[in-house]
Amino acid sequence: MKGWKRFGGYTPILATVAVVACVGTALKGYAAPVYEVEQPETVQSSEAETTEKQQETEETKQVKGNFDLADGFYKGSGTGFAGTVSVSVEIKDKSIVAINILSTQDDEAFFNRAKGVIDKIIAGQTLDVDVVSGATYSSNGIISAVKNALTGEQDTSTPATTASSSNQSSPSIETVDDSNQTWKDGTYYGSGTGFNGEVQVQVVIADGKITDINVVSHNDDSSFMSQAQGLIPNIISTQSTNVDAVSGATYSSRGIINAVRAALKQAAVNGSSNDADDSNDDNNNNDNNNSNNNSTIVEGKVPYEEGIYYGTGEGYAGDIQLAVVIQDKTIKAILVTECEDDAAFFNRAKSIINEVLKNQSTDLSGIDTVSGATYSSNGIVEALKEAFKAAENGNSGKPAESETETETETETETESETETDNKDSIYIDGAYTVSVVCEPDEDQDFEAYNLSMTVHIKDDKITAVTDIVGDGGSSNDSYIKRAAEGNSKLPGVVTQITKKGSPEEIDTVTRATCSSNAIIEGCQKALEAAKRTPEETDETEPGETETEKPANRTYADGIYTVSVVCEPDADADFAAYNLTMKVRIENDRITDISGISGDGGSDNDSYIKKAAQGTSKYVGVVTQITEKGMPEGIDTVARATCSSNAIIEGCQKALDEAKKLAEEGK
C-alpha cells in the first residue's frame, strides 16, 4: 500500500491574522536566543515539504508571519505525555519556515500523530491551533515547545504518565445490536477510520453468514494493522462486530470494525444493520449504503456485470489506481487502492468519486475537475474511464503487475561476477556506486541535491540500477521514483536503460525531467568508472612485450566485507555501533564501496548516508575514496564526522586484508 503525505488543516485567514498579530506584539522586548542548531543523531525532522515543481493549480499560499525575531534557529521545550519534548524552530523573514523535533519521550505512534500540529502552525503562522485528536498531550507538548522557543514562556505542566505507558487516549468502540441480523449473500465493501486515515475492507456473505473479511487498503503502520487484523477471526466466529479491540492497536482495530459495519449495512436484510457510525468516514462507499432489499438504494443504471473492475490514471505525483465495485447494476463502492498524490490535494479531488456514486452514471463527460487539484482530478477521471472500459469488456479482477514493476526488479550481484572477468570487454563487471547533482532547469523550482545510485555492469551492459536515493529531502522522493519507475503510461528511465544496456537515447519521464536526467548521468558516470584502460586488457600495443605488463599487485582483487566500530567523539551524542560495508578492490585501487549499514538503530542512518553520499556542499567519502582509489587524504563530511571516519577505517581494513592475501599468493 502506498503511503500518503499528511497535511494539517488550515486556520481561517482572519482568525490567523488576528492571532499572529497578538503573538507578534507579545514577542516585542523578548530577545530569544539564536542557535546554530547541530541536530543529534536522534533528530526527527518535520520540515514543511517543498515540491520539485508545484503547479499553480495545486498551490496553497502560506500566510506570512509576524514574529519579531531575527533569522535563525530557536530551541524550546514543552511537556508531552511521557516527558519533555524539545524542538528547533527556524525563523526566516519573521515567519516560521520549519519545526524540527529534537527529542521526545512519548510513544512513537501517538507522537507521530501529534506532529500534524506542526503543519498547522507553519500553514497558519500561529500557535493557536487545534490539538490532534487521540494525541492531545503530545500535541500540547509540541505547541508549548514552539511557544517556549519563540517567547521564552515555560511549560510548567507535568507529564501525564511515564514513557512506558502507550495509551494516551484510546478510542472507544460502541457496541451495536446485531444479534438478530441477517445478511444477503454477496461481496460488500466498507470504510472506517484507522490511526492514519481510511481503512477499507471487503466482506463476503455466503448462506447468510460472514465467511471472509479482507483489509483492502489502509494508511496505518503495517505492524499495528497486522496486530489489529487478529480480531477478524473473532468477528467471523461470533458473526458479530462486538469484539474486543487488539491491545496496542486500538485505532486500527476500530477502523476495521467500523469498516465491516459499513459493509454490513449494505448486506442487511431486516432493517438497518449496525447503526453505530464512524463520524470520520466521509467516503463510506456511497450515499446509499443501506439494505440491499429495503428499496433504500437508488436503482442501478450501470449496464455491466457484477464484479470488481480496476483502472489507473496519472495523478500529480504518480499513478492513481481505483477499484470500482459493481453489484445489482449499481456502483456499490469506488476504492482507492494506490495513490502517490498529496492527501491535501487528493481529498479535494475525491469529490468526483462521490459525484459518480451519487449519480450512478458511467458517463464522465460532464465531470468538472476540482479547482486546486486539477492533476489529481484528471487522474481519478482517467482511472474511472479505464475501470468502466474494463467493466464493458467484462475484464473483472486484479490488474496484472505493470511492466515497470517487473522490469525494475534487479538481480543481485555476486562476487563470482569478478571471478569470470572477460578481459576482452570494454568495461569491468561490477556494481558501481556513483553520485551526481540533480539540478533544476529553468522551469523547475527546487534546491539542487545529490542523487546517488548503484549501477550494475556485466558483459559491457548495464543490467540493473538500484538504491537510487537523494539527499534533498523527502519532497523529491516521488519525483525520483517517477523518473526511475515511470508510470502506467510511461516507462521509467531504469527500464529503458536496462533494456538497452546503455544510457544513450533515453526518454525522460514527464514531470520528473530533472530526476530522469540525473539518473541517466549517473549511469554514464558509472560506465566511465568501469571502463578499462589499455593496461587492464590482454591486448598489447605494437612493440609491447609481455614483460611490459603490470607487475604483481600489492592488493588481491576481490570484494571484502569488513566491520568496524563507529565510536562517538567528544562532541557526538550516540552509542557506539558496528558499521559494515563491502569494499571492491581491483588493480590496486578501491573501485566501489557498497552495502554500508550500521547496527545501532535507524537514528544513525541519516548520518551514515550523509557521510557516504555527502551533501550539496560536501562530497561524500565514498566518492572521494573511489576517485582516489585509496582512503588517504579524505575529507570527512560535516556533522557526520564519526560515520565518515568509520567508512575510511573500513576501507583501510579491506586493503589490509587484500594485501595479506596478495602476499600469501606470491
pLDDT by residue (tens digit) across 363-395?
A: 888 888 888 788 889 889 999 999 999 998 888
How far, rounded to the nearest angstrom, does the alpha carbon of residue 505 sit from its chain's CA centroid?
30
Q: Are 330 and 359 in contact (CB under 8 A)?
A: no
pLDDT at 402: 43
| SS3 label, residue 383 | helix
Instruction: For residues 397 and 311, give the distance between their C-alpha atoms in angstroms, rounded to a whole number.
Output: 11
Tell whether the model's pLDDT for residue 286 goes beyond 70: no
> What's the rounded mean pLDDT across residues 178-195?
83
How high does pLDDT run on average in the chain?
Answer: 77
Least confident piece of the model among 13-22, 54-63, 216-225, 296-305: 13-22
β-pairing, 186-193 with 95-103? Answer: unpaired
DSSP one-letter string for 171-223: PP------TT--B-SEEEEEEEE-SSSEEEEEEEEETTEEEEEEEEE--S-HH
**Bigger pLDDT: 557 vs 6:** 557
Please count the other Cβ atoms lying within 10 Å of the Cβ belonging to residue 166.
17
Q: Are 103 and 84 in contact (CB under 8 A)?
A: yes
pLDDT at 398: 58
Tell me what percent of the chain is helix, strand and coil, each rounded to the nearest 5: 35, 20, 45
pLDDT by residue (tens digit) across 486-505?
A: 876 778 899 999 999 999 99
Cell triple for residue 310?
A: 480496476
Instruction: For residues 611 and 635, give the distance between their C-alpha atoms in angstroms, rounded to a whole number.
Output: 10
Angle at 387 between CA 382 and CA 392, to 5 degrees: 125
pLDDT at 517: 92
**Bigger pLDDT: 179 vs 590:** 590
Q: Are 186 and 128 in contact (CB under 8 A)?
A: no
- Measured CA distances, 301 to 327, 331, 362, 603, 622 (Å): 11, 9, 9, 55, 62
> In angstroms, what is the C-alpha Rg of the chain?
29
Please count the other Cβ atoms lying within 10 Å of the Cβ belonging to residue 513.
18
Instruction: For residues 46 and 40, give the distance between their C-alpha atoms in angstroms, rounded to a whole number.
Output: 15
> What's the rounded mean pLDDT across residues 165-184?
70
Q: Are 278 and 171 in contact (CB under 8 A)?
A: no
> What's the rounded mean pLDDT across residues 221-239?
89
Instruction: For residues 261 and 240, give the distance between their C-alpha atoms in angstroms, rounded to a whole number.
Output: 9
| SS3 label, residue 404 | helix
Tell whether the model's pLDDT for residue 110 goes beyond 50: yes
Cell triple for residue 411?
A: 538481480
| SS3 label, residue 384 | helix
pLDDT band per the 50, 70, 90 thresholds, residue 73? very high
The Cβ-side half-sphere exposure at 173, using a 13 Å CA radius, reads: 24
Helix boundaries (H) for 505-583: 513-530
Strands (E), 40-124: 44-45, 72-79, 84-92, 95-103
Q: Are 26 and 69 in contact (CB under 8 A)?
A: no
The Cβ-side half-sphere exposure at 577, using a 13 Å CA radius, reads: 22
pLDDT at 77: 94
Angle at 239 between CA 207 and CA 200, to 5 degrees: 90
Instruction: For residues 138 and 125, give the distance between their C-alpha atoms in angstroms, rounded to a whole number.
Output: 20
Helix boundaries (H) for 339-456: 343-349, 351-359, 374-392, 403-407, 416-419
Q: Are 469 and 480 in contact (CB under 8 A)?
A: yes
With b for 16 or more beta-carbon neighbours within 10 A and e for fewer, the 325-359 pattern comes to: bbbeebbbbbbbbbbbbbbbbbbbbbebbeebbee
